[in-house]
Amino acid sequence: MKIYNYQLIIEYIGTNFVGWQIQKKGVSVQGEIQKVLRKFIKKDLKLYGSGRTDSGVHALGQSAHFITNHKIKSKKILNTLNHFLKKKGISILSIKNKKKDFHSRFSAKERKYLYVIINREAPLTLYRNKAWHIRKKLNLNLMKRGAKILEGKHNFSAYRSSSCSAKSPIRTLKKIQIKRGNEGRLDITFISQSFLQQQVRSMVGCLKLLGEEKWDLSRFQKPLNNKRREYCAPPAPPSGLYLHSVKY
């Protein structure tokens, strides 16, 4: 019997979901897509994501895969999935047949996250539930200097959630880029092979306090040097975080 391994690239607004992963209570992105797939293929299957996104976190390019012995027509299933999922705030951007050994999580070489801040006095309209609204003017140059400190291989224990199940807190942060756009928009991108739970949001929380000049660079380095959660800033809200893309 021939086995097919299909990869999906998924976009979603995470506001009304408990996160990517199926949980005992609440509606998940994984659960909603899996239900439609099972209805279409008429067989039990499991959808595997490249990683979790927490409640309220969005995705521009989440990657997931499922294995089936049912050969499918990509265009037909793409239209079917999007027909049933569009009201949920989920879009399937593409579906591709991959090699048998492809795994959306374990085959990933690089993950890119984007965090969006709107730094202005005026309240959010278009970006409501899609960005972090910060009224106090941020010192961009100071934030960039702080970002350089976080780059590289470190023990990120201070930035991980207490519920993080990763075996090691060591991660290599390849790059952090901070760009200012129009109307007070600030884009912060983070690139690494993998991240700890709440690591990105915790780092953004620290960069925000640095940008507001509530912390100096010495205080900013304290969580990294001491490896204790108590020295870290509160995590930034999930509304500004996007899983941008996954590279294989």
List of residues 6+ apart from 31 with CB closer than 8 A: 22
CA angle 106, 111, 113 (to 5 degrees): 145
**Measured between alpha carbons, how far is 57 from 236 in angstroms, rounded to an integer?**
11
List of residues 6+ apart from 73 with CB closer than 8 A: none
Cβ neighbours of 34 (radius 10 Å)? 18
Strand partners, 172: 153
219 phi and psi angles, rounded to 5 deg: -70, -35
User: Mind telling me the catalytic residues?
Assistant: 54
Q: Which amino acid is at 24?
A: K
What tokens were used for 76? 């037909």
Q: Which amino acid is at 232?
A: C
Burial-class residue 123 by CB neighbours within 10 Å (0-12, 13-18, 19+).
exposed
Nearest-CA neighbor of 49 among 58, 62, 39? 62
Cβ neighbours of 13 (radius 10 Å)? 19
Cβ neighbours of 132 (radius 10 Å)? 22
What tokens were used for 211? 């940008």
